[in-house]
Amino acid sequence: MFKRRFSDPRVVVSVVYVASGFVAIMDSTIVNVALPTLHRYFASSGHAVDAVVVAYLVSMAVAIPAAGWAGDRFGAKPAFLSSLVVFWCASGLCGLSASLPELLVARVVQGMAAGVLLPTGTAMLYRTFPPEQRAEVARILVIPTVIAPAMGPVLGGWLVDQLSWRWVFFVNVPIGLVATLFGLLWLRDHREPAAGRFDLAGFLLASSGFGLVLYAMTEGPTLGSASPVILGSLLLGLCALGAFVRVELRAPEPMVQLGLLRDRLFRTANLVSLFGSAAFLGLLFMVPMFLQQALGYSALQSGLTSFPEAIGVILSSQVVARLYPRIGPRRLMAGGLLAVTLTVGSFSLLGLDVSPWLVRLLMFLTGCGMAYMFLPVQAAAFTAISPAATGRASALYNAQNQLGSALGVGALSSVLAALGPTLMGVGGVAQVNLAAYRASFLTAAALALVGAAVALRVPDRDAAASMRPRGTVPAELAAEEALPARQ
């Protein structure tokens, strides 16, 4: 029974991806709660310690452009398992670090491994599941992409309080090791016969441009948007990305196939995901900050208070998976993001005496609404992408996810920094500037509203292949499928 179960490649890929993707994505948030402890342990400035988080995010962004080519050239299984081994080995080195420079080097290695791991794993999922089963793929993808960021502060707070900051990194080792052994035994390989030569110019331009822009967006609120470092990074990054687009469109064998964005469904779904994820991840960043800095919650308390969003996504996803074949992605995504706009906007009405249960309810409702974006986007985006192009498309999709995360966190934290989280009250006593937090929450609501507007342009008929349970076409789309697709 056990052997027969794991002879099914869909089960194997799902198990390996969820386990490895969970720790890789969780590592972007689990370290946040350990930063004060690291500051005291290494006797370093707060900004120097913040580099532990930034180094991971930027190095991940640098590696993503090469992930699609690596999976096609060396095989999905070797590329995936090699990056997984490097990831959990680097995690162990992070936990063993005796100095801050050692920790930063290990975090860079860890982030680059995650930058290859996630796109390669996503490509394996989409190649294993046919279009009519993409809703099932989306339900799998929701587990690491939604639960992991929410679980990070909760688990990180408990590990720091009960054990030490080192266990924030050590926790990845046993999970990664088991996933590696499981993959070695059961995972099947896929290799593209025409992966092409390594596009060095495209890789250098994409990695440097994407990394510099991400750095500017994440560090801008800390260093100041007018800082020469931030302005220089942003300008150089945008120039590099402009040159990258020009080079890749002319390259015979491009590192990143920008031509995939000519596919209307893939292009529009990525834009919806960009703005929707920016709103959601920006909220996940701002709510713990509001709870801890404005309301005085501990890191563990704030993590437990914001965690209900993950429950909302998981429960609501079961409903969305049933609705998707009958309704299609456009109305589900637009309606879900409109609901998110309302719930996120409701955070701007909260006062300093707010009940934690009201915050939990709003987080739960936000998660329920986000499921109506997450699942349809992931089910529909790759519908018209061929198996040969899935690896490169996955790299583009994951790059967009990184950019969306940086956009949300950068936008909300910039608004908070511009208005100031505190004000000088009577007698020179600092007081919470509630207006700054409210403006940040309204910014997140605006991002969700933009995502809803873009979702109205998603073509349902282009996603029809992903809406066909057992090979049937929904009746309401039968006539539309006969029409020529508009570009």
> Would you say the C-alpha torsion 309, 310, 316, 317 has a positive or negative sign?
positive
- Confidence class for position 471, pLDDT limits 50, 70, 90: very low
Give the residue, 279 or 62, on which the prediction is more confident: 279
Q: CB of 468 within 8 A of CB of 325?
A: yes
pLDDT at position 96, please? 92
Q: Terminal CA-to-CA distance of the chain, rounded, Å?
A: 49
Query: How do residues 14-51 score in pLDDT, each as one tens digit?
Result: 888 888 888 888 877 787 777 777 877 887 755 667 67
Q: How far is CA 304 from the centre of its chain?
A: 20
Q: Is the pLDDT of residue 184 over 70?
A: yes
Helix 9-26 and helix 134-142, axial crossing angle in degrees, nearest 10: 30
Q: Is the pLDDT of residue 347 over 90?
A: yes
Q: CB of 196 within 8 A of CB of 242?
A: no
pTM of the model: 0.80
Q: CB of 172 within 8 A of CB of 156?
A: no
- Cα–Cα distance for residue pair 441/323, rounded to 1 Å: 30
Burial class (CB in 10 A: 0-12, 13-18, 19+), 261: middle
Q: Could you identify the residue written with the tokens 């709003």?
A: 362
pLDDT at position 428, please? 61
pLDDT at position 192, please? 66
Give the residue, 257 or 115, on which the prediction is more confident: 115
pLDDT at position 251, please? 76
- What average pLDDT is seen over the chain? 81
Q: What is the mean pLDDT of residues 334-342?
A: 95
pLDDT at position 148, please? 79
Q: CB of 158 within 8 A of CB of 33?
A: no
Give the residue, 134 or 472, on which the prediction is more confident: 134
Among the residue ranges 27-41, 123-137, 193-207, 469-483, the one predicted with the least confidence is 469-483
202-236: burial string, b at 16+ Cβ within 10 Å, e else: bbbbbbbbbbbbbbbbbbbbebeeeeeebeebbee
Percent of the chain with pLDDT over 90: 19
Which residues have a Cβ under 8 Å from the Cβ of 98 and sit 6 or more positions away? none
Rg of the chain over Cα atoms, rounded to whole angstroms, equals 22
pLDDT at position 275, please? 93
Q: What is the mean pLDDT of residues 257-263?
A: 79
Q: Is the pLDDT of residue 485 over 70?
A: no
Q: What is the largest CA-CA distance in the chain?
A: 73
In the DSSP assignment, the letter for residue 144 is I
- Confidence class for position 191, pLDDT limits 50, 70, 90: low
Q: How far is CA 323 from the centre of its chain?
A: 24
- Cα–Cα distance for residue pair 480/237, rounded to 1 Å: 42
Which residues have a Cβ under 8 Å from the Cβ of 175 and sit 6 or more positions away? 19, 20, 22, 23, 88
Q: How far is CA 55 from the centre of its chain?
A: 16
Q: CB of 301 within 8 A of CB of 430?
A: no
- Confidence class for position 196, pLDDT limits 50, 70, 90: low
Q: Which CB contacts under 8 angstroms, 24+ apart, belong to 241-244?
A: 241/205, 241/206, 241/209, 241/210, 241/213, 242/209, 243/205, 243/209, 244/202, 244/205, 244/206, 244/209
Beta bridge partners of 424: 430
Q: What is the mean pLDDT of residues 217-231?
A: 75
Q: Is the pLDDT of residue 118 over 50?
A: yes
- Cα–Cα distance for residue pair 117/24, rounded to 1 Å: 8
Q: Is the pLDDT of residue 221 over 70?
A: no
Closest CA to 244 of 222, 286, 211, 221: 211
- Cα–Cα distance for residue pair 424/466, rounded to 1 Å: 56
Percent of the chain with pLDDT over 70: 88
Q: Is the pLDDT of residue 218 over 80?
A: no
Query: How do residues 87-98 score in pLDDT, each as one tens digit?
Result: 999 999 999 998
Residue type, 377: V
Query: How do residues 442-454 score in pLDDT, each as one tens digit?
Result: 999 999 999 999 9
DSSP-H helix ranges across 129-199? 134-142, 148-162, 167-170, 172-186
In order of 20, 141, 170, 173, 479, the CA distances from 177 in angstroms are: 10, 21, 11, 6, 51
Q: Is the pLDDT of residue 213 over 70?
A: yes
pLDDT at position 478, please? 42
- Confidence class for position 154, pLDDT limits 50, 70, 90: confident
- Confidence class for position 344, pLDDT limits 50, 70, 90: very high
Query: How do residues 56-68 score in pLDDT, each as one tens digit?
Result: 877 888 888 888 7
